[in-house]
Structure 1
Amino acid sequence: MLTTVAVSGYRSLVDLVAPLGPLTVVHGANGTGKSSLYRALRLVAGLADDSAVASLAREGGLDDVLWAGPESPAGPGVPAQGTVRKRPVSLRLGFASDDLGYVVDLGLAGGDPRSLFRRDPEIKLEQIFAGPVARPAALLVDRRHTHVRVRDGSWSDLSRPVGVHRSILSEVADAEAVPEAASLRIRMRGWRFYDNLRTDAAAPARQPQIGTRTLAVAGDGRDVAAAVQTILEQGQATLLAEAIDMAFPGSRLSVRSSDGVFTLELHQPGLLRPLSAAELSDGTLRFVLLATALLSPDPPGLLVLNEPETGLHVDLLPALAQLISRAVWPSQVIVITHSTALAELLVGDVPDALSLTLQKTSGETRLAGFGILDVPLWDWPRR
């Protein structure tokens, strides 16, 4: 289980270190940095499958995602003053878990100034460590620019350099030589993120789809019919039926197959025929998509939901909260939400839940109610 997440230099997350629990509920007013925290978590996960650099480039490169305020924030109530940057441009991301931790430092590209890939950030430093903090004695893997060394009793150098645009999590494939990188790669590639479950008129979830066994619904919900049928055949069919009945009393889901093409259907009391996914309201389809994601027969180690309440009537929040609470036991769950009602329901349902409120002070995102001694220990390594 992840115990700490740390972000430095990403948008309003100047230097945020936050604790994580089995269920962590992140909430706050608009513009306090909730979406930035979600994107930062996705960037960390993207380092394991080589998608992080491309994601940053799509956001405009480091220039557009870096903290836009002064290098050293002045503090609450003090106007920002322009300063000359003295430290290198740096976007730092990291986490600690029960066993292994990870930290990465991304900076501006070097090399040929005429290159058209100058917006691609470079990895300046990467470390894998044991325990809560990346201190020298806890380091297991230490990467500086292209050079990687591994500790197994004593330090040894990898014979092959690592490209500056690729993480050791994706580039170092030798599980025997670097078992820690292989372990983290497998875990992080299994993390799931849901923030774009589409319910618009052209949403793939509304269309019939070729059905194959699907253990995890796609991020946009395109394979929901196959995912529902997988739950019905080998997953938590009873829990799915209970969730649908709680949200829409007397209703149930089924999947119709025609030559291997699946169509999702909702049976409701009083209707002579089931409604296909194309006929469902946006809120109804969104709840079905969320239920399918949360009841996966192959639950992930980490599940992150960004504003799951969007488009749902307030009456559906208790059913959604119950689904999320049940998902906590096989998975660690992070919920980022605008809804105070959903946050209260979740914290009330799960005894060990952490509730984090984000606030913005002088443009910087901070944890409300957390003092210096309340945040987890963390140490950013120097390049």
Structure 2
Amino acid sequence: MTLTLKGFTVRGYRSLRRISYPVSQLDVFVGANGVGKSNLFRSLALARAAADNSLGRELAAEGLRSALWAGPRRRDEPTGLELSVDLAAAGAAGHFRYEVSVGFPAPTAGAFPGEPQVKTESLSYVTRARAHRLVDRKGASVMVRDGSGRPGDLDIDVLPSETILGRLEDPANHPELDQVRRTLLEWRLYHDLRTDPASPLRRPCVAVASPTLDADGSNLAAVFATLSQIRQDTADLDRVIDHAFPGTRLVSEAEGEARFALTYPDFPNRLFQAAELSDGTLRFLALAGALMGYRLPPFIALNEPETSLHPDLMEPLGEMIVEAARRTQVWLVTHSERLAAVIARSGEGAVRTVVKAEGATTVEGLTLMRTFRDEDD
């Protein structure tokens, strides 16, 4: 059973001094350049990285000093990064809360200089009455509860830069932790889908049933072939492509290798292979694969999907996003007011404006109680 993302909190990451956001089925974030919209997207990627045990590596690649909040701090405000996600099963009385904090190693720690270290990590089941701690890590000390609910110390070889979420793979004894990890691993965050000549989007791929587009788009041809040959239904995909490029038709095949091509109304007998397509056309097709696959992941995040697309493509792109949000949760960060307007006109989801106040990124109208002033009114 997959879990739905109900809330997300990040403190101390780049321009995100502290923000706690109530996630809905479709969240759209717009705002001027430099207000920190992409930091919201990247912090989601860090939450997923905790699940595949690459959180330390991701922060090291950014440079921990660069990744941390650089603004003023109160004396009691810790130096470090904190992430928290709330995940719930449909109809459940409570929800899971996964929290992790990362900072610099202690001077005596056996670590590389500046290497990110997990300071605390926990998984709780939260109800109105209480928060029941299932996993609790403080430095090298790790407490876990077994299947009967009894607490005990965990004897596991885990480095300070590793997460328990990504390291402890024991679904039989720790099913809740496994459920949270599997849910986060199924998330797909799409950013900078490459369209250069060497892009994976332009290459054939292994012909194997592919219900979901990979993060780099490398199985796009197989995603299309799965719709046409496994599901044997491309009506919605064909409609979107015709809306975006009138008279154009997608052709896919999967014999040994999966590949796709387009036919244009001016050249009905000529197949234009992926390697020949324009950057904008290829990017739109990749977004169609991400949003219209046979099986969508439990959560999709898109960062500036409008890049390299003609403005006239915002309508079909917006319609795809709205339709996808009826099947899964979608988080969209965009510069395009036109794209946001398409979604707003649909009446689906929430379109929010991202702003900066005293150097800190926030969402207009968001309160400290994880509600919005307009909703409170």
The 8 Å contact of residues 146 and 161 in structure 1, kept in 2 or not, is answered as: no
3-state SS of 2:38 partner: helix
Return the alpha-carbon distance in structure 2 between the equivalents of residues 350 and 198 of structure 1.
32
Cα–Cα, structure 1 residues 138 and 27, in superposed 2: closer, same or farther, change >3 Å?
farther
Question: Match for residue 90 of structure 1?
Answer: 80
Counterpart check, 1:58 vs 2:66:
no
The correspondence for 2:305, drawn from 288, 305, 308, is 308
3-state SS of 2:295 partner: coil
Question: Match for residue 296 of structure 1?
Answer: 293
What is the one-letter code of the residue matched to 2:141? H
Cα–Cα, structure 1 residues 100 and 348, in superposed 2: closer, same or farther, change >3 Å?
farther
Deviation by residue 1:98-117 (Cα, 9 ceiling, x = unmatched): 321111111112365785x2
1:220-231 map, 5 Å: 220-231=216-227
The 8 Å contact of residues 23 and 350 in structure 1, kept in 2 or not, is answered as: no
Deviation at 1:94, TM superposition (A): 0.7
Return the alpha-carbon distance in structure 2 between the equivalents of residues 196 and 285 of structure 1.
12
The 8 Å contact of residues 126 and 132 in structure 2, kept in 1 or not, is answered as: yes
Deviation at 1:190, TM superposition (A): 0.5
Question: Match for residue 185 of structure 1?
Answer: 181
Question: Match for residue 154 of structure 2?
Answer: 158
The correspondence for 1:358, drawn from 329, 354, 359, is 354
3-state SS of 1:125 partner: strand
The correspondence for 1:121, drawn from 116, 124, 139, is 116
Question: Match for residue 131 of structure 1?
Answer: 126
Question: Match for residue 24 of structure 1?
Answer: 27
Counterpart check, 1:265 vs 2:264:
no
Return the alpha-carbon distance in structure 1 between the equivalents of residues 56 and 155 of structure 2.
24
Cα–Cα, structure 1 residues 234 and 21, in superposed 2: closer, same or farther, change >3 Å?
same
The correspondence for 1:242, drawn from 227, 239, 243, is 239
Question: Match for residue 140 of structure 1?
Answer: 134
Cα–Cα, structure 1 residues 113 and 122, in superposed 2: closer, same or farther, change >3 Å?
closer
Deviation at 1:154, TM superposition (A): 4.5
The correspondence for 1:219, drawn from 208, 215, 226, is 215
Deviation by residue 1:160-183 (Cα, 9 ceiling, x = unmatched): 464322111122222233222111
The 8 Å contact of residues 21 and 370 in structure 2, kept in 1 or not, is answered as: no
Question: Match for residue 380 of structure 1?
Answer: none
3-state SS of 1:47 partner: helix
3-state SS of 1:199 partner: coil
The 8 Å contact of residues 225 and 255 in structure 1, kept in 2 or not, is answered as: yes
Question: Match for residue 369 of structure 1?
Answer: 365
Identity of aligned residues (%): 37
Q: Give TM-score, length-normalised by structure 1.
A: 0.87
Cα–Cα, structure 1 residues 232 and 26, in superposed 2: closer, same or farther, change >3 Å?
same
The 8 Å contact of residues 212 and 226 in structure 1, kept in 2 or not, is answered as: yes
1:2-21 map, 5 Å: 2-21=5-24
Q: Give TM-score, length-normalised by structure 2.
A: 0.88
Deviation at 1:370, TM superposition (A): 2.6
Cα–Cα, structure 1 residues 157 and 374, in superposed 2: closer, same or farther, change >3 Å?
closer
Cα–Cα, structure 1 residues 255 and 374, in superposed 2: closer, same or farther, change >3 Å?
closer
Aligned pair count reads 359
Cα–Cα, structure 1 residues 174 and 204, in superposed 2: closer, same or farther, change >3 Å?
closer
What is the one-letter code of the residue matched to 2:23? L
Alignment root-mean-square deviation, CA:
2.3
What is the one-letter code of the residue matched to 1:243? V
Cα–Cα, structure 1 residues 131 and 234, in superposed 2: closer, same or farther, change >3 Å?
farther
Counterpart check, 1:339 vs 2:342:
no
Deviation by residue 1:195-241 (Cα, 9 ceiling, x = unmatched): 12111233232234443332222323233222211121234521111
The 8 Å contact of residues 168 and 181 in structure 1, kept in 2 or not, is answered as: no
Return the alpha-carbon distance in structure 2 between the equivalents of residues 170 and 370 of structure 1.
31
3-state SS of 1:273 partner: strand
Deviation at 1:50, TM superposition (A): 1.1
Cα–Cα, structure 1 residues 260 and 153, in superposed 2: closer, same or farther, change >3 Å?
closer
The 8 Å contact of residues 30 and 333 in structure 2, kept in 1 or not, is answered as: yes
Counterpart check, 1:68 vs 2:70:
yes
Return the alpha-carbon distance in structure 2 between the equivalents of residues 262 and 355 of structure 1.
37
Return the alpha-carbon distance in structure 1 between the equivalents of residues 370 and 109 of structure 2.
44
Return the alpha-carbon distance in structure 2 between the equivalents of residues 162 and 177 of structure 1.
18
Counterpart check, 1:49 vs 2:52:
yes
The correspondence for 1:195, drawn from 191, 195, 215, is 191
Cα–Cα, structure 1 residues 207 and 163, in superposed 2: closer, same or farther, change >3 Å?
closer
What is the one-letter code of the residue matched to 2:210? T
Question: Relative to structure 2, which stretch is displaced further, 206-215 or 89-98?
Answer: 206-215
Return the alpha-carbon distance in structure 2 between the equivalents of residues 16 and 374 of structure 1.
9
The gaps in structure 2 that reach 5 residues or longer are 89-94, 373-377
Cα–Cα, structure 1 residues 374 and 301, in superposed 2: closer, same or farther, change >3 Å?
closer
Return the alpha-carbon distance in structure 2 between the equivalents of residues 273 and 238 of structure 1.
22
The 8 Å contact of residues 148 and 162 in structure 1, kept in 2 or not, is answered as: no
3-state SS of 2:270 partner: coil
